[in-house]
Amino acid sequence: MRKTIEFSMLLSGLLFAGTAVAGPFAPAAGQPGSTAIHMDDPSIVSWATGYQDYRPGPGVAAAWQTPEKALGKAVGDSYDIVTLGDKGTITLTFDGYLYNGDGYDFAIFENSFSDTFLELAFVEVSSNGTDFFRFDSYSFTPSLVGGFGSVDPTNIDGLAGKYRQGWGTPFDLELLAGFDGLDINHVQYVRLVDIKGDGSEFDNWPAEYGGPHPIYDPFPTSGSPGFDLDAVGVMHLSPVPEPETYAMLLAGLGLIGFVSRRRQNA
């Protein structure tokens, strides 16, 4: 069964928060209780090595349309990024298969220069490159924030871009367990979909608790509008066997089958 957030705990957090700028979710990088993963964290064992289907939204300047900058280790500055633009997308690939290990399985790095100028994106994964499955997301930002506005990170969860540059937003594949068409131990693709922050897109907060909520982030912006991807780091990766090793494995399996048949016919 698909795991969901304990809504009673979140609602209790909202009651204690008391204001719209103190939500129930993890705080900014470096603060107690934050889930942010630093780009030098030793739990990261690999980084995205390829991309496909980069489709920038309108208004992205040519200087920011370089998807190769999303490959390899996070740089942690404002410039070594690829911009998605409003509702733009990109799919990242890896030298192996992401799998559901203990704790978080991968982290996404954006280039925010502060803890509150947060440009957000939906996160989706796929085992076959055709069927993509989106992580649930939650947004309690109460209203439009404008092009230079602020988003309190304690008001958002399940969205890439929650943390400032150099710090990744982590994701756990266990949250997507139980979907037909997705093998959470054999994920080959991670897709990011920019959120147009004008409130026209919605989170997954349940209707019985007043949801869904419109999602707000800095809007409108120009030049490098929307989500700016620095990198995708991986904590749990199964390497793809080298061609020679794969051939040896197949040959070994064939030999085992041959011996087994000989024994059965003896």
All structural domains of the chain with their residue ranges? 7-235
Assess whether pLDDT exceeds 90 at residue 4: no
Per-residue pLDDT of 225-245, as tens digits, reads: 999 999 999 999 999 866 665
Closest CA to 72 of 55, 97, 95: 95
Question: With bands split at pLDDT 50, 70 and 90, how would you rate the model's confidence at 3?
Answer: very low
Peptide linkage before 225 cis (omega within 30 of 0): no
Which pLDDT score is estimated for 209? 96
Which pLDDT score is estimated for 250? 55
Which pLDDT score is estimated for 96? 98
Q: Does domain 7-235 correspond to CATH entry 3.40.50.9100?
A: no
Residues 6+ apart with CB under 8 A from 261: none
Work out the average pLDDT over 118-147: 98
Name the residue with higher pLDDT: 157 or 6: 157
Which pLDDT score is estimated for 151? 98
Assess whether pLDDT exceeds 50 at residue 258: no
Which pLDDT score is estimated for 22? 82
Which pLDDT score is estimated for 251? 61
Name the residue with higher pLDDT: 18 or 168: 168
Which pLDDT score is estimated for 260? 44
Contact 19, 196 (CB under 8 A): no
